Amino acid sequence: MSEVLKIFKIGGGIIDDTAQLSQFLTELARVPERKIVVHGGGKGASQMLQNLGIEPQMVQGRRITDAATLDIVTMFYAGKTNKQVVALLQQNGVNALGLSGADGNVIRATKRPVKDVDYGFVGDIDEHSVETGLLQNLLRAGLTPVFCAITHDGQGQLLNTNADTIASSLARALAPFYQVELHFCFEKDGVLADVNDENSVIAQITPGQYQSLKASGVIAAGMVPKLDNAFAALEAGVERVVIENALKINEPVKTILCRS
């Protein structure tokens, strides 16, 4: 039986709140299995862009990334946010190593082709382009890789890539080598039947139920690409996919996705 590997994606509101981020990482340090962390930071990046006089533009949950935006999100995700997460993990006794997709050539992507929308410097992760050998060596050495939402194209170009997609791609690529658990951690207790009622967590969702929850609008906004990525990972051999509150990862309330 292969080892368990837990991949935690942390996003949105929590990453920009140092007290909550610190609480999440303290809980994470209590998880005994091998782990990888993937962080977003989209909300904070939008705030920083606005502070610098650039109006953020999102289409279907993805950021239109021109050259100036790429410079700023690279500084924000791969610099400040990534190093802050690494430092807080070190404080908690976890030997974390911060990475973008360019470091060690771990994640290659292709600039999204222009169709109806020109997303600019946004990268889609190429199938079979995750350097799993290096990741296995890092994990074997007891390190916890911490990924930001920046990848590269192998030709010297950095690309902005959605953090949920990075987490899902890593999970799929590593599924042949580990029993991978993919955890999407955010500020709600799980997928909610009523987005305004924290007590309405749906304990389990099948692909069929997901389609009807999406059609009825119960699951909307950022939750749709997140769950699309999540079900794709499950179909590609990831053992378990969980949607949960970042501050309650060691508590039982959460949503677990089912294959059927």
Ligand X SMILES: Nc1ncnc2c1ncn2[C@@H]1O[C@H](COP(=O)(O)OP(=O)(O)O)[C@@H](O)[C@H]1O
* Binding residue numbers for substrate: 41-42, 63, 160
Cβ 232 to ligand X shortest distance, Å = 16
Binding partner of 186, given ligand X2W, ligand X, none, CB within 5-8 angstroms per partner class: ligand X
Query: Which residue from 8, 21, 41, 191 is in contact with ligand X2W, where contact means CB under 6 A?
Result: 41
For Cα atoms 197, 201, 202, give the angle at the middle one, nearest 5 degrees: 135
DSSP string, 68-130: HHHHHHIIIIIIIIHHHHHHHHHHTT--EEEE-TTGGG-EEEEEPPPSSS--BSBEEEEEEEE
Task: Give the footprint of ligand X on residues 21-40 (CB under 6 A).
Answer: 40
120 binds ligand X2W (CB under 6 A): no
Contacting ligand X (CB under 6 A), which of 28, 182, 191, 257? Answer: 191
Candidate residues 6, 34, 35, 62; the one interacting with ligand X2W per rule CB under 6 A: 62
Residue among 11 and 120 whose Cβ is closer to ligand X: 11
Residue nearer to ligand X on the CB measure, 39 or 108: 39
Longest CA pairwise span in the chain (Å): 53
Q: Which C-beta is closer to ligand X: that of 172 or that of 188?
A: 188
- Asked whether 7 and 167 are in contact (CB, 8 A), the reply is yes
One residue of 188, 205, 241, 254 binding ligand X per CB under 6 A: 188
Please report the beta strands in the chain, taking only residues with DSSP state E, as ranges in sequence order. Answer: 4-10, 34-39, 58-59, 62-63, 96-99, 107-111, 123-130, 144-147, 150-152, 158-160, 179-186, 204-205, 240-245, 255-257
CB of 134 to ligand X2W, least distance (A): 22
Beta bridge partners, 7, equal 36, 182
Figure out which of the listed residues 49, 73, 130, 185 binds ligand X2W, where binding follows CB under 6 A. 73
Handedness of CA 127, 85, 104, 58 (dihedral sign): positive
Question: If contact means CB under 5 to 8 A according to the sort of partner, which of ligand X, ligand X2W, none does residue 215 touch?
Answer: none
- Please name the residues in contact with 120: beta carbons below 8 A apart, sequence gap of 6 or more: 64, 65, 66, 67, 69, 70
Residue 247 lies near ligand X (rule: CB under 6 A) = no
Of residues 28, 85, 89, 149, which one binds ligand X2W by CB under 6 A? 149
- CB-based contact 38:182 (threshold 8 Å): no
Binding stretches for ligand X (CB under 6 A): 11-12, 40, 42, 186-188, 191-192, 195, 218-223, 226
Binding stretches for ligand X2W (CB under 6 A): 11-12, 40-42, 45, 62-63, 73, 122, 149, 160-164
